[in-house]
Structure 1
Amino acid sequence: MSTVIDLIGLELAPYTYSVDQVKIKEFAEAIGDLNPIYFDEAVARQEGYDGIPIPLTFLQVIDMWGGYSFMEKCEILHLNPVKILHGEQGYKFLKPIYARDILTVTGKVADVKIKEGSTGAMNLITLEFEYQNQTGEIVAISTNVTIERH
């Protein structure tokens, strides 16, 4: 019988996402960041960028529109969707990501911990995703912790 610990090392099928300037603009407006580098390529280049960069938390957009849905993740990881919480999120940027980049995203279960809380046991599942651009460079790594209550 397998346990949640057996998920460690599980690799998720890769997906691709074309970074869209319109999505960058929509996201910047949604978070209230009206910095012109997200709206005007000439301004972005004047500020030293090679194009329109993504806002720092834009990786969530990539995951939402290009990656796995909540229900797909639950199915892949054998989790009960009514007992799930989002625990943590972290980003490490290695190179800039720009509009028109085509990213290939690979993911894996990096760690699983089982902890006792005041209301019972919890599984803490750490997922790690690498974002590679069209030239093969790893441009970002994200980690997130999914909490499943028992």
Structure 2
Amino acid sequence: MVEALACWLLAAAVWDAGWRRLPNALMLVGAFAAAFSILPSPALAGWGGPRDPLQALAWAAGGLAVSLPFHLLGRMGAGDVKMLAVLGAWIGPLLLPVWLIGTLSQGVHALIRVLRRARPLPGRERLPFGTHLGAAGLLVLAARALQA
């Protein structure tokens, strides 16, 4: 299941970097995989994601609650909101470090772009937050694998 998550994170990161959008089909694949990862299975035991459907829904709701206000203010795309919700369902408490690292790297990315231009970013120019979330997710998964 970790391999599927890593592939999904990589696909989302690359797609968002290239096209500045996260397609619904990709988010739906992630949602189905997250639901599958909750099923009782010895092969999935101990990988770190939520084991209880209610816990997975709570983490998905948390990802949605954190990101939806930014979307409503026009500061985050709908795909990013869906990606955070799917990640919450899939990785549970690991969402916190992924969100934190992704947000910090997004901030550094924005700062670098502003400094290179010596002027603020135009209001409609979007940075690929899905790319930062994907990279942060891969980083957290790698750190978890090294600890095991």
**Same-fold status (TM-score > 0.5):** no
Question: Relative contact order (C-alpha < 8 Å, sep 6+): which is higher?
Answer: 2
| Greater radius of gyration (CA) | 1
Give the structure with the larger helix fraction: 2
